[in-house]
Amino acid sequence: MRLNQYIAHAGICSRRKADELILNGEISVNGTPVTSLGVKITPEDKVAYQGKIIQAEKKIYILLNKPKDFITTTDDPQERKTVMDLIKDASHERIYPVGRLDRNTTGLLLFTNDGDIAAKLAHPSSNIQKLYHVTLNKTLKPGDLLKIQEGIELEDGFIQVDAISYVEGASHREIGVQIHSGKNRIVRRIFESMGYEVEKLDRSMYAGLTKKDLSKGKWRHLTGKELVELNRVIKTSGLVPKKKI
């Protein structure tokens, strides 16, 4: 691991700031100050900052089934309820949400202190798949469903979902939408552009992860199997397969 990455993982500062600490001679490895960038260390090396040994944080991955009326931010100057209130007892490490769900959107939200995975998931080219359960204010006409399937033009460009269908066993006000776009409020804007109001929006799948058996407002750690699947999805996310939902 690169030294600046190790310092960042220890929660001392960002990688960029870690480079400054290194160049200023404030970091030592095995008792010797290091002043050059690009140095790599092994698990056996002792890294110190201000004379104290530092250790990289344990990687934490937590899933939350977000309820309504919580905003996705680590802090809010208006003192509204945030998702951090719901996971405050989940970890001693500093974790943060990956991506956002707006205040009225419920469902799956991932938290981690793994900066590499968070950056890959958030990158525009990642094509990470998300599945939403949409409840509209009125029945979605079959013709409008077909138009959305074929793609529509919004104010910020053309958008096409990866899959869309009526929710089996429910009224035609309830729709399943699979999409990889990360544009702001994209699912709501798709339906609003066609004269529908989204009454409820719930994310049931994100990057291969699901909220099965996770009730609203509850959280849990990822299993080892889920972490393997998450990494697999990230590696193959450049391809966007069409799937039936």
The whole-angstrom separation of Cα 51 and Cα 128 is 42
Q: Which has the closest alpha carbon to 183: 150, 210, 156, 147?
A: 156
- Burial grade of 102 (CB within 10 A; 0-12, 13-18, 19 or more): exposed
Mutual angle of helices 224-235 and 115-122, in 10-degree steps: 50
Judged by DSSP in three states, 182 sits in coil
CB 196 within 8 A of CB 137: yes
- Tokens 């008792």, residue? 31
Residue 157 has φ and ψ, to the nearest 5°, of 125, 175
Beta strands in the chain (DSSP E): 27-29, 32-34, 47-49, 52-53, 61-66, 96-98, 106-112, 130-136, 152-154, 157-159, 163-166, 174-179, 198-206, 209-210, 219-221
Catalytic residues: 102
